[in-house]
Structures are given as C-alpha cells and as structure tokens.
Amino acid sequence: MRKIVRESKKSNIYFTEHSIKKSNELSIAKMNQGLTLNQMQLFAYAIFSTQKDGKTEFRKHEFEKKFDIAQIRPTDAMDDAYRLLDLKIQMKDTNEEKSRGHNVFTDYFYDRGKFSFKWNDSFIPHILELKEKYIITDLKMTSKFKSSFSWILYEYLKGHYGYWYIEHTKSELMNLFCVEKVKSYQNNTSIFKNKVLDVAIKDINLYTELEVWYKEVKKGRKITGFLISWATGKQQAGATEKQLNAIYEIYNEVDKNMRIYFTLESPKRLELARDYIIRLNNIQKQINKDLTVKQAKEIIKEVKYLYTCLQKLIENDNYNRDTSFYYDWINED
C-alpha cells in the first residue's frame, strides 16, 4: 500500500498563475505511450488552460511563450495534438489487484494556430475535482526540462509525498518511462541510465526543489534495479542515533499494545486501528541507514501522531479483555 498525502506547504511549491494541479493517482499513473518533450508540454498546457479559465482552448503562440519554445510549424503542432488523442492512462494498485484506465482526450481541433481539446469525462476529476489528494507542478520549473522523462519522474516522485525512496526493478522503471520496448535499453543498462534515468535526474536536480539520487541494485555483477532517493533541498547529514532511538521507542510502545488494538470492541475503532498500524508499518519500511536528519524528523512527527491516534482509540475501552486468541487482520488476504 502506498501512502498518499496531499501536497505539503513545506515543499516550497505553492499554486500560482504558473502552476497546474494533478491528482496523486494521475501523477503516479502509467501512460500507454512515450511522449516527446513538446507533446508533454502541450499536455501540461491543456491542463493549465482548463484550470485557468475552464476552457481547453488556446493559441499556439501562448503555448510557445509559456515554455519558451521556438515557433512550432503548424504541421508539427497538428501532429502533436493528434498524438495526444491516443494518450491513455492506467491507474494500478498491484497490492489490491486493481486497475483502471481511460483515454485522456476524446477530440481535438486545430484551426490556424488555435488548439482546442475535449477531455474524456472520466479524466476530468484528476485535474478539476481534486479534493485533498493532489500535487502542484510549477511550470516555471518544468518549462526548463530538456526531456519528457524528467516530467515523468518529477511528478511520480511528488505523487509519493511522504516517501523518501522507492526501489524499482529495471523493468519497472523502463515501463514507467514508456521505453520498455527499446532494445538498446533492454540489452544495455548503461545506455538506459545515460539516455533516460540520468537525464531525468539531472533536470530535476538543476531546476526543481527536489534533490534526487540513486543506487544500483545488483544480483552478482548484473544491475537488476535501482533504489531512487530524494529530498527537498540538498542532501543532508544522516539521521542521528538519538533520532533513530526515538523512532524505535515509539514502535516498541505500539508493539506492547498490539493485542489491545487487535481486540477493540467497536468495529469503527478496529478499522481505524488497522489503518494507523498499516501506515506505521509502511513508514517502518522506509527506515534505513541512508535516512537523513530531516527525513528522520518528519518520520518522528508522523509516528508520534499515529501512536497518539491509537492511544485515543483505547482510552475508553476495557483493558482487561481476554486477548489470548485473535487473528492478524493486518496481513489478512
């Protein structure tokens, strides 16, 4: 289960006249095809136009100015718009064996320098009916990207706010970047790194608030995957022993009360306890030797909050119930 949290004010990115919003689901979704940089920019500007005045209509010169693009030939503009008509998005939750997908657009028109797109109704909630679960992308930053891969990775990492690293196999990353069919990347990991992953990370580090780095995961001498880490701002010193001890002390307290949480009498309280403990377990998976001081501080804040929530659930409950028999509802199928 991935933790989804709304954009934090601590990210230093605020919604402005140069920003767009996307749902977390959309930010981490799989596209069915790779896009050129211009096509990715056109997609972003269609969202920008819709969120700005409710109309997905704009002039070519407005789009070019926003991204500081040299004048696009009308034939290329029409081809890019047509390419977006085939764009599909897949939202997948492998933990729950669920997925869904749909086209992004149903129609497009291009008439003498004027773009007009019509969104698929199923897609609209991801850019308009956002509620609390969304990320903000500052187009002033992303307009400097040199690759569409940079857009994909940047929004993917922001969509996982609350995480500080993600481990993926090489195959999973190629799938994310929509390059899984490129033979040279399949056969040579160095080419994939140089042409895709390193390009994306360089752009993100140069132009955004994130600092991203990775470690290769190997089986023998073969690179099988990548551990991608990120932080807001420059890399910081490692977490202190005092911070790590504080984290584990909280987990020890939760563990001591586990049987009480398991046997809460109220179904509503039991469900809340289950949610809090799953969230704690997900956070625990992120604790490793590469944790920074800042990351550890955020973890301490989060686990303290969850521990407090758990304690409130049992404040008015009976502590003397028989807990010799219970089932593990955290790991149930």
Tokens coding 318: 């009976």
Q: What local confidence, expressed as pLDDT, does residue 234 receive?
A: 56
Q: What local confidence, expressed as pLDDT, does residue 212 receive?
A: 92
Tokens coding 189: 């990991």
The contacts of residue 254 (CB under 8 Å, 6+ apart) are 277, 280, 307, 310
Q: How far apart are CA 79 and CA 106, in angstroms?
A: 16
Q: What local confidence, expressed as pLDDT, does residue 131 receive?
A: 64
Edge-to-edge strand ranges of the sheet holding 57-59: 57-59, 114-119, 105-111
In the chain, where the domains are located: 9-232, 241-314
Q: What local confidence, expressed as pLDDT, does residue 13 receive?
A: 42
Residue located via tokens 């500052």: 138
Backbone φ, ψ for residue 207 (5° rounding) = -115, -5
Q: Is the model's pLDDT at 321 over the cut of 70?
A: no
> Cα separations (Å) of 92 from 3, 197, 211, 315, 333?
14, 22, 27, 38, 18
Residue 251 or 189, more confident: 189
The contacts of residue 55 (CB under 8 Å, 6+ apart) are 49
Residue 270 or 286, more confident: 270
- Asked if residues 247 and 287 have their Cβ atoms less than 8 Å apart, the reply is yes
Kindly report, residue by residue over 235-285, the tens digit of the pLDDT.
555 677 788 888 888 888 888 888 888 788 888 888 888 888 888 888 877
Of 38-52, 75-89, 252-266, minimum mean pLDDT range: 252-266
Q: What local confidence, expressed as pLDDT, does residue 175 receive?
A: 94
What average pLDDT does the chain have?
A: 83
Q: What local confidence, expressed as pLDDT, does residue 241 receive?
A: 75
Q: How far apart are CA 30 and CA 106, in angstroms?
A: 19
Amino acid at residue number 62: E
On the CB side of 62, how many CA atoms lie within 13 Å of its CA?
A: 13
Q: Could you report how far apart the first and last alpha carbons of the chain are, in Å?
A: 13
Q: How far apart are CA 283 and CA 119, in angstroms?
A: 37
Q: What local confidence, expressed as pLDDT, does residue 92 receive?
A: 79
Q: What local confidence, expressed as pLDDT, does residue 261 receive?
A: 84
Helices (H) and strands (E) in the chain, counts: 14, 11
The burial class, CB within 10 Å (0-12 / 13-18 / 19+), for 296 is buried
Reference 248, options 298, 312, 299; nearest CA is 299
The contacts of residue 188 (CB under 8 Å, 6+ apart) are none
| Overall pTM surpassing 0.85 (yes/no) | no
Q: What local confidence, expressed as pLDDT, does residue 2 receive?
A: 32
Q: What local confidence, expressed as pLDDT, does residue 329 receive?
A: 40
- Asked if residues 173 and 197 have their Cβ atoms less than 8 Å apart, the reply is yes
Per-residue DSSP letter, 69: P
Edge-to-edge strand ranges of the sheet holding 165-169: 165-169, 222-232, 210-219
Of 32-36, 204-208, 217-221, 325-329, minimum mean pLDDT range: 325-329
Kindly report, residue by residue over 148-181, the tens digit of the pLDDT.
999 999 999 999 877 888 999 999 999 999 999 9
- Assign a CATH topology to domain 9-232: Arc Repressor Mutant, subunit A (1.10.10)
- Asked if residues 239 and 253 have their Cβ atoms less than 8 Å apart, the reply is no
Per-residue DSSP letter, 287: -
Per DSSP, which regions of the chain are E strands?
Answer: 19-23, 30-31, 57-59, 88-93, 98-103, 105-111, 114-119, 134-138, 165-169, 210-219, 222-232
> Cα separations (Å) of 196 from 15, 35, 329?
29, 13, 41
Q: What local confidence, expressed as pLDDT, does residue 96 receive?
A: 67
pLDDT mean over 121-137 = 85
Reference 7, options 210, 309, 264; nearest CA is 210
